[in-house]
Amino acid sequence: RSYTPVSANWDRGYFDLLIKTYPQGNVSLYVRDMKIGDKLQVKGPKGQFVYRPNRVRVFGMIAGGTGITPMYQIMRAVLNNPEDRSTIQLIFANVALEDILLKDELDALAKEHPDRVKVTYCLNTPPTPAENNGHPWEGYTGFVTEEMIRKHLPAPASDIQILMCGP
């Protein structure tokens, strides 16, 4: 299986993986059951995407489920570079509220960089107010649609990059 580290390139001596555990997932169950001191053989990297500061005016991102991991890594790289003024518009789709990986981290990035980061959530099964700290669900319900993409992502242009990852 291929996994995208969520740690940044400037984190030296270790890397963090975000792995969702699935009931039938052999690798995810194996990793979940590992103990401190157990060893795991890894190789990589795999893929061709290279982030270059200020080459893109806006990153438009569509992520589903664990597809958020490469998006999160790119977001952190862009926002950590004080010279990069790229903005990020993310549509993040999941089944239910409890499936939204890195929600606190994404919300924190949007709050810390309100002029540069916009996150739009979409759930197949939205929470009731009781399941959402007494608040009604403010995101979209159902699947990502063309209308949603047109409203929340940039229009095609030479300085726009659209990225998509996930189911």
Binding-site residues for FAD, in ranges, read 1, 3, 18, 20, 27-28, 69
Task: Tell me the binding residues.
Answer: 1, 3, 18, 20, 27-28, 69
| DSSP string for residues in 39-89 | --------------TTS-SEEEEEEEGGGHHHHHHHHHHHHH-TT---EEE
Residues in the chain, total: 167
What are the residues whose beta carbons fall under 8 Å from the beta carbon of 83, sequence distance 6 or more? 53, 54
Cβ partners under 8 Å of residue 126, min gap 6: 97, 137, 139, 141
What count of other Cβ atoms lies within 10 Å of the Cβ of residue 94?
24
Instruction: Supply 165's token pair.
Output: 């990852």
